[in-house]
Structure 1
């Protein structure tokens, strides 16, 4: 999906080049090997000892995504973030260090979430798609498992599903991330004390798909009807019953989670949990049954902190990645706001503690996001009071973007995926360009014409890969490779990316791709042992520093 949204095709390159010059010049660069830890150990600060380690992962959150959050907080005319101060600002104000981490998996330029999560969890180089495995296929020892050996409590929280790549990498060991039914068994046997996420369909027997079955009706009762009952298992194994035998309290709603004590397994959606837009719009709704990422985090910390020996907790804001895959800037903003409020809670909890290391990072960047200027919708010349403009008007000559667009992004009411979901539910004869244009207009603060909608709906004949090359003005289009990084083989995914192309100039946005990039990600660390993270490193080193800190090495 090589795309150039504006007529100034070179602006994207300049934008990213400036970003990296700024980032790298802001850091103290220490030499590092590509995949092996340098041997530097995270040493607690004098007079303090690490009791707890909390790792917060924004899946797909590169510096560019973080830039969207900061721009909204500080420039949006009606930002919902008080005083324009994000949790990341607050971390730095409270003495955090910032580093930069390379994310690539073993022997490749780019990573996937499974390999990257494994590298963060174990400090070991991993192969693509592997879960809890080193690059040669051997099970790794994760930071969660190290914490258990020390007698600490452990927890995993995600707004995706519990068997998804990132949480799985901390507690499971499988040759491929797609083996989610087997991963669920590993998670159950991991010994993790608190597990809160979505993904019920990997935990219940295949008989649950029969709406007349006893197990289906029982599940409706115990979930209070809050979770869609479908199973992806190919056997009759009921992992919920096994969890109860192991002493877990089961939770399927916010209320059940709030009342739970001891070890808790919370599964609040059949697959992924609510996206950022829905989470924002329903946050204060009395009838809401699904907990927010912040609420899951609060409950997790409440339970884990009861252990006098301390705890390890991984919190994933996983749908930043999903929004970025779809090039869905409005939904991305809400996912970042979801992470921001969660991190604010963690900072509040840890504010008066000197025994907790907090590490915030990403597994990789997704989409190559950025704001950019263009030659579209040029602003009119204006008079300025300054002496230099007494005899001429002020006119930059390019459209550098009005911050008002940030408020418009916030006003989006459905994700791109949901827009196309509604479109596909219409009778076939109503699935017209005019209807798609109406849905976009109704659910975003941006508009597309029927002609633009028609281009989007030509996905199969005019794939994203082909359209990207045409927009670049290339006379010949390379043969489509469905495995190519710039091609989205999923029809619905491709339509989301195509919609992003059509609204890009209105949003002042560019996206480089619909997949992952090798962009290094930011690392924020606060608390004892933080100084080890203030450098350029690789995710294997980051993971090892976290393990060293946990073990007070």
Structure 2
């Protein structure tokens, strides 16, 4: 029998033969018993929001937090120096998650496709697979399960909507490179209500540059053909028109169009490939000249559309260019990407902070670059006289350069990515005859950390690719930029000139990098929502388990 019912029954029997004073005592006892009934623990939710900072390991979070809390000119100074990530940390739970391809037949290091698939399915997957288990079988994702339950669904990214991370939640392909097939699958499946990102090039027909009928049709839909003129399809399918005419999607191609578009199905493609980088976004935000929506803008639009579904929703939001900056060892760019992502995290925090029907998980798929601040033997500190009574008449003079906080502001001051520097040296990316003078001029044009031609000359050095593989996407290049240590972990051909820029700037920035690819470091997990749901995330876990926990919380609702 329920405790409350039992208490009322006993009270009624006792009161029948009691004086008024005795009745008062029994009523008090009844109330006390009722108060002892514990509240029902909430163990499921109506909505799940997963935010993925691609490449955002603990080291990257450290860069963001150091900048926010201690940079002399921190943009967080008006916000009590608190990041949105810290707001979630204070209000929810924190844990760590391993992320390598899972199981005894897996491997040590993960790529974004496998990692996102494991988060999406709660099952082990293989490197570079999309939505498949280790045997190559299609596996239902959390997004697809949410849709089967009648919930609304959405994917948001500042890379391409067909890129590995968003694709893994709503597509099933043997390899992440099959973006043209992924584009068609995302639209045809009917599983995703809101798709907001870049990547128009795999939605446009191969003849978009020459077929005037196609170009006119797209212009009438509001597609700026000067920006979206290139196709990466090998056929003449127009997936954008199919989305509108056959599958009921409303379309948006600019930030202004996104603001005004209505309906519960939305396809927004805001660039031909990846969207504007974090440095470019920071610049256009200052003078209000942005034409693309920000990651925050897309997040708010997705929340507005999906939350209208009374059954709830699943939404994945990716800050994908943290990873891109990490791959080329660009600390200034990476800081701006972290700021852009945290801006979107803040939008989610404000939306969810007073709710108890939503689980928010913020994590990364992996760490990129093996980044860190480090102390060095360059620019040793000068001796100082301190007033403390423990100095015993001696000066304060550390043995090494531990890094001035002002370097955080100088990283933020970077006005272009390492790719912008490469484009200045040669817009066609032919660096076979580049010089130290050219590289120094490009670096000094965009970075607050200045270099000489002599310091920059190693960036121009090239050597025979001893790991040549015919027809390989990257390793078929006969020459590679010359990497002097750990060269096996720098794999992306001529892009490695950017990594060499990072090496050139590292000593002055107090930054170090260990790789041009990913590491197996555990990544942070922030979980916010009902405690009965979130307490399980405060542990060391694996992304497979993380995916299972999210699915269980949503499905049990």
TM-aligned CA deviation for residue 388 of structure 1: 3.0
Change (3 A) 1:457 1:313: same
1:532 aligns with 2:536: yes
Distance 1:219 1:418 in 2: 30
Distance 1:463 1:299 in 2: 43
Which secondary structure state, in structure 1, belongs to the residue aligned with residue 444 of structure 2?
Answer: helix
Tell me what 2:207 maps to.
207
Distance 2:100 2:316 in 1: 21
Change (3 A) 1:283 1:460: farther
1:484-503 → structure 2 map (5 Å cutoff) = 484=488, 486-491=489-494, 493-503=495-505
Aligned Cα RMSD in Å? Answer: 2.0
Tell me what 2:12 maps to.
none
Tell me what 1:433 maps to.
436
8 Å Cα contact 1:51/1:309 also seen in 2: yes
TM-aligned CA deviation for residue 552 of structure 1: 2.0
Could you state the TM-score of these two structures normalised by the residue count of structure 2?
0.85
Tell me what 1:117 maps to.
116
TM-aligned CA deviation for residue 551 of structure 1: 0.9
8 Å Cα contact 1:98/1:533 also seen in 2: yes
Larger Rg: 2
Could you state the TM-score of these two structures normalised by the residue count of structure 1?
0.86
Which secondary structure state, in structure 2, belongs to the residue aligned with residue 98 of structure 1?
Answer: strand
Distance 2:253 2:381 in 1: 52
Change (3 A) 1:233 1:548: same
Tell me what 2:552 maps to.
548
8 Å Cα contact 1:227/1:252 also seen in 2: no
Which secondary structure state, in structure 2, belongs to the residue aligned with residue 454 of structure 1?
Answer: helix
Distance 1:400 1:286 in 2: 38
Tell me what 1:318 maps to.
320
TM-aligned CA deviation for residue 75 of structure 1: 1.2
Equivalent pairs, count: 493
Distance 1:370 1:132 in 2: 32
Aligned pair partner of 1:100 in 96, 103, 113: 96
Comparing 536-545 and 425-434, the one that deviates more? 425-434
Tell me what 1:36 maps to.
none
Tell me what 1:412 maps to.
414
Distance 1:463 1:298 in 2: 43
Distance 1:60 1:300 in 2: 23
TM-aligned CA deviation for residue 84 of structure 1: 1.2
8 Å Cα contact 1:227/1:268 also seen in 2: no
Which secondary structure state, in structure 1, belongs to the residue aligned with residue 485 of structure 2?
Answer: helix
1:365-396, Cα deviation, whole Å (9 max, x unpaired) = 11100000011100111111112335221101
Gaps of 5+ in 2: 1-38, 465-478
Distance 1:233 1:390 in 2: 73
Distance 2:462 2:74 in 1: 36
Tell me what 2:248 maps to.
247
Tell me what 1:259 maps to.
260
TM-aligned CA deviation for residue 360 of structure 1: 0.4
8 Å Cα contact 2:47/2:314 also seen in 1: yes
TM-aligned CA deviation for residue 87 of structure 1: 0.8
8 Å Cα contact 2:84/2:343 also seen in 1: yes
1:99-145, Cα deviation, whole Å (9 max, x unpaired) = 11100014100000000000000101000111000000000110000
Gaps of 5+ in 1: 1-43, 470-479
Distance 2:40 2:281 in 1: 38
